[in-house]
């Protein structure tokens, strides 16, 4: 770990020293960061009374290989990966379980009712993404179930300023072979963007091979009614799953389809529709599927109507949603549930110094009691650079179909589970020194009630799902970002977390206490030469009752021109580590290739 720290700092120092003057024509100048996650209307990042991180993806694809590469820059996000490239990953925020993080695609739910293990089984390539926004803390007052620990909102690409074609290919160790491409046509009034990506690996050990195919269409039109956006995506991922869910040489194949429509109705209203289908074929023993095989089919529909109105004091946002989901499974059975939700929020800002937001959401579930999620947050500018903020909110999570009905040789669901509930409290300060430096510090506490986890029965050696009456997590998160020049930035992030282990007694649980006690990340990105950009990141993770380990990654790429070579290095120090107990992760990885960019002439 010390060697990795010293190496990362040395590389950052050397890269910074070789950076070009401010007029180097590489990374575009920083633009104003706008938050749409955790707020009912877009606002500048510094105006948010919640702790939100924003990661720009568009234009940086050659330096980052997966969604996890970005999310790991936020130390409050714990990516518990079972395989590279987000093939199978659990995501946790502020120590929540993987089911307590809500994943959105353009503000629409992508979470999987079968199992939270599929929440990051995203049906689109990273090339199709504009930015990632992460809300640390509760978001149920805006988004409903699952937003207990936090929210990840994936924002798809905006219309390209210039029509173009991109083709990318790369090769690496472990039999890695990846190809991707995109076509962008039109302008800001009418545009079409097509994306395709294929990743293949023979695996770094037996039964850890994978294939990944993603196809995406993004259509945009500006009409008299307002903007119209249509998103169509699909994915197909077969992969070796050795040790993923127990001591078995397993295999799995997931497929995903997602379609959404967003239509503005004037300046103050919009309607949204989304459909998601996800299938999961799981084979316990890869070489003999007849021993134990599960096949799950999940369908979900979502519709929403949203509006906001300016009042003499502040702004009122309100809306209604409808959500329906069903599953057909040889293991879980045939089930369906639906719910309706109403929400309203009032936001006011005064004297360029005070801000206050209060909102409430009511989710009514078929066959279940309704869940009311209130929230309140406030901010106060102590001076022109320093802001204090605080918030309180309630969140909840419905048990997944796996929690309720699953059964295999090592796990057993519980049809009598209650929904999880939680109260979140946080307070913090933000410091902004123009656009060149910002820092943030937050203390938080989450009080879970009826937390769902699996407990080991020592007599049968089976993990059984159950509710814990009460569990409390407390922590601190801090971050610093310094922009040394327009095209160079250094970031440092740290989160410390403590859970009340005594509250659950002397039992062995499966998920709740896999959280990081300490998680830190330092990153650098910038221009090395006018024809070369790079990034490096080192993350140090100290997980509960586990050994501390450090991971160092680095990338180089040519940022402009028709032919753009790139080189991506992962786990440079060959660290041996497991993010999920029993699931080995690969050692040093090397992928190199090039991208060809060809502009298209407008007609």
> Residue 366, Cβ neighbours under 10 Å: how many?
10
Q: Give the model's pLDDT for residue 12.
A: 39
Q: Give the model's pLDDT for residue 188.
A: 79
3-state secondary structure 176-222: EEEEEEEEEEECCCEEEEEEEEEEEECCCCCCCCEEEEEEEEEEEEE
Q: In this model, does residue 4 exceed pLDDT 60? A: no
Share of the chain above pLDDT 70, in %: 94
Question: Sign of the CA dihedral 34, 36, 42, 47?
Answer: negative
Q: Give the model's pLDDT for residue 317.
A: 96
Question: Residue range 48-71: average pLDDT?
Answer: 90
Q: Give the model's pLDDT for residue 161.
A: 72
By CB atoms closer than 10 A (0-12, 13-18, 19+), residue 274 is buried
- Mean pLDDT, the chain, rounded, equals 90
Q: Give the model's pLDDT for residue 220.
A: 95
DSSP class per residue in 473-497 = EEEEEEEEEEEEETTEEEEEEEEEE
Question: Residue range 503-509: average pLDDT?
Answer: 83
The HSE-up count of residue 576 (CA atoms within 13 Å, CB side) is: 1
Paired sense of beta strands 488-499 and 516-529, if any? antiparallel
Q: Give the model's pLDDT for residue 158.
A: 86
Provide φ and ψ at 173, rounded to 5°. -70, 175
pLDDT tens string 89-127: 999 999 999 999 999 999 999 999 999 999 999 999 999
Q: Give the model's pLDDT for residue 366.
A: 80
Sequence-ordered alpha helix ranges (H) in 84-198: 140-143
Q: Is 137 left (phi over 0), alpha (psi -120 to 50) or beta?
A: left
Longest dimension (CA), the chain: 73
Q: Residue 47 domain-assigned?
A: yes
Q: In this model, does residue 9 exceed pLDDT 60? A: no
User: Residue 404 is inside which H or E element, if any?
Assistant: helix 401-405
Q: Residue 357 domain-assigned?
A: no
Q: Give the model's pLDDT for residue 41.
A: 84
Q: Residues 467, 448: contact at Cβ < 8 Å?
A: no
281: β partners: 253, 295
pLDDT tens string 343-384: 999 999 988 899 999 999 999 988 667 899 999 999 999 999
pLDDT tens string 435-451: 889 999 999 999 999 99
Q: In this model, does residue 592 exceed pLDDT 80? A: yes
Q: Is 186 left (phi over 0), alpha (psi -120 to 50) or beta?
A: left
Q: Residues 272, 262: contact at Cβ < 8 Å?
A: yes
Q: Residue 216 domain-assigned?
A: yes
The number of folded domains in the chain is: 1
Q: Which of 244, 276, 250, 255 is nearest to 211 (CA)?
A: 255
Q: Residue 379 domain-assigned?
A: yes
Question: What are the residues whose beta carbons fall under 8 Å from the beta carbon of 483, sequence distance 6 or more?
Answer: 30, 435, 436, 437, 489
Q: Residue 588 domain-assigned?
A: yes
Q: How confident is the model at residue 240 (pLDDT cuts 50, 70, 90)?
A: very high
Least confident of 78-82, 305-309, 431-435: 431-435
Q: What number of residues does the chain have?
A: 603
Q: What is the residue whose two structure tokens read 């290739």?
A: 593
Q: How confident is the model at residue 58 (pLDDT cuts 50, 70, 90)?
A: confident
Question: Sign of the CA dihedral 558, 560, 562, 568?
Answer: positive
CATH number of domain containing 565? 2.40.170.20
Q: In this model, does residue 7 exceed pLDDT 50? A: no
pLDDT tens string 24-44: 333 334 456 888 888 888 888
* Domain interval for residue 325: 2-351+362-599
CA pair distance 246, 525, nearest whole angstrom: 39
Q: Give the model's pLDDT for residue 367.
A: 67
Q: Residue 241 domain-assigned?
A: yes
pLDDT tens string 72-89: 999 999 999 998 888 889
3-state secondary structure 218-267: EEEEECCCCEEEEEEEEEEEEEEEECCCCCCEEEEEEEEEEEEEEEECCC
pLDDT tens string 386-412: 999 999 999 999 999 999 999 888 899
Paired sense of beta strands 549-557 and 563-570, if any? antiparallel
> Residue 470, Cβ neighbours under 10 Å: how many?
12
Residue 223 to residues 155, 187, 193, 229, 261: CA-CA distances in angstroms?
Answer: 21, 13, 18, 11, 14
Q: Residue 356 domain-assigned?
A: no
Q: What is the residue whose two structure tokens read 């999570």?
A: 397
Q: Which residue has the higher pLDDT, 22 or 46?
A: 46
Q: Give the model's pLDDT for residue 479.
A: 97
> Residue 432, Cβ neighbours under 10 Å: how many?
17
Q: In this model, does residue 17 exceed pLDDT 80? A: no
Tokens of 486: 């327009």
Question: What are the residues whose beta carbons fall under 8 Å from the beta carbon of 17, sequence distance 6 or more?
Answer: none
By CB atoms closer than 10 A (0-12, 13-18, 19+), residue 95 is buried
Helix (H, G, I), strand (E, B) or coil at 144: coil
């Amino acid at each position: 770990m010390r060697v990795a720290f010293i190496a990362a700092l040395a590389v950052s120092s050397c890269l910074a020293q070789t950076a070009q003057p401010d007029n180097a024509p590489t990374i575009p100048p920083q633009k104003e960061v706008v938050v749409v996650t955790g707020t009912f209307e877009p606002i500048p990042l510094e105006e948010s009374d919640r702790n939100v991180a924003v990661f720009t993806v568009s234009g940086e694809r050659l330096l980052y290989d997966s969604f996890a590469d970005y999310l790991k820059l936020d130390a409050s996000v714990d990516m518990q990966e079972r395989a590279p490239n987000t093939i199978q990953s659990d995501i946790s925020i502020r120590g929540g379980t993987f089911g307590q993080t809500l994943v959105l695609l353009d503000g629409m739910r992508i979470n999987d009712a079968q199992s939270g293990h599929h929440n990051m089984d995203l049906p689109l390539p990273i090339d199709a993404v504009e930015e990632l926004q992460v809300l640390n803390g509760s978001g149920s007052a805006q988004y409903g179930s699952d937003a207990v620990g936090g929210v990840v909102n994936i924002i798809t690409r905006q219309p390209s300023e210039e029509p173009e074609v991109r083709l990318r290919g790369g090769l690496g160790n472990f039999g890695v072979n990846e190809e991707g491409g995109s076509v962008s046509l039109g302008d800001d009034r009418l545009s079409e963007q097509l994306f395709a990506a294929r990743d293949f690996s023979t695996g770094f050990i037996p039964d850890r091979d994978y294939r990944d195919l993603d196809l995406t269409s993004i259509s945009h039109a500006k009409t008299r009614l307002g903007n119209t956006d249509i998103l169509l995506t699909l994915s197909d991922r077969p992969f070796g799953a050795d040790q993923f869910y127990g001591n078995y040489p397993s295999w799995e194949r997931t497929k995903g389809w997602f379609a959404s429509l967003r239509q503005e109705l004037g300046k103050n209203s919009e309607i949204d529709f989304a459909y998601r289908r996800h299938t999961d074929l799981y084979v316990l023993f890869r070489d003999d599927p007849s021993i134990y095989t599960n096949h799950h089919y999940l369908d979900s529909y979502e519709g929403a109507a949203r509006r906001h109105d300016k009042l003499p004091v502040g702004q009122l946002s309100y809306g209604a949603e409808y959500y329906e989901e069903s599953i057909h499974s040889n293991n879980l059975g045939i089930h369906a549930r639906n719910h309706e939700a109403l929400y309203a929020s009032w936001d006011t800002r005064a004297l360029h110094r005070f801000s206050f937001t209060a909102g409430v959401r009511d989710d009514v579930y078929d066959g279940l009691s309704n869940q009311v999620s209130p929230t309140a947050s406030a901010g106060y500018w102590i001076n022109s650079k320093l802001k204090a903020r605080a918030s309180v909110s309630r969140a909840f999570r419905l048990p997944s179909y796996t929690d309720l009905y699953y059964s295999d040789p090592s796990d057993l669901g519980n049809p009598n589970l209650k929904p999880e509930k939680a109260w979140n409290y946080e307070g913090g300060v933000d410091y902004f020194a123009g656009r060149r430096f910002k820092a943030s510090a937050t203390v938080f506490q989450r009080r879970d009630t009826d937390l769902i986890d699996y407990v080991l029965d020592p007599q049968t050696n089976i993990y059984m799902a159950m509710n814990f009456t009460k569990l409390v997590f407390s922590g601190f998160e801090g971050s610093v970002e310094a922009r040394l020049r327009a095209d160079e930035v250094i970031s440092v992030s740290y989160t410390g977390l403590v859970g009340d282990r005594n509250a659950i007694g002397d039992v062995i649980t499966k998920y709740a206490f896999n959280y990081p006690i300490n998680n830190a990340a330092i990153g650098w990105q910038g221009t090395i030469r006018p024809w070369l950009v790079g990034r490096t990141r080192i993350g140090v993770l100290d997980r509960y009752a586990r050994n501390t380990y450090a991971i160092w990654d680095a990338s180089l790429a040519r940022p402009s021109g028709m032919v753009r070579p790139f080189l991506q290095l992962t786990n440079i120090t060959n660290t041996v580590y497991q993010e999920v107990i029993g699931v080995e992760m690969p050692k040093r990885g090397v992928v190199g290739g090039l991208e060809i960019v060809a502009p298209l002439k407008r007609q």
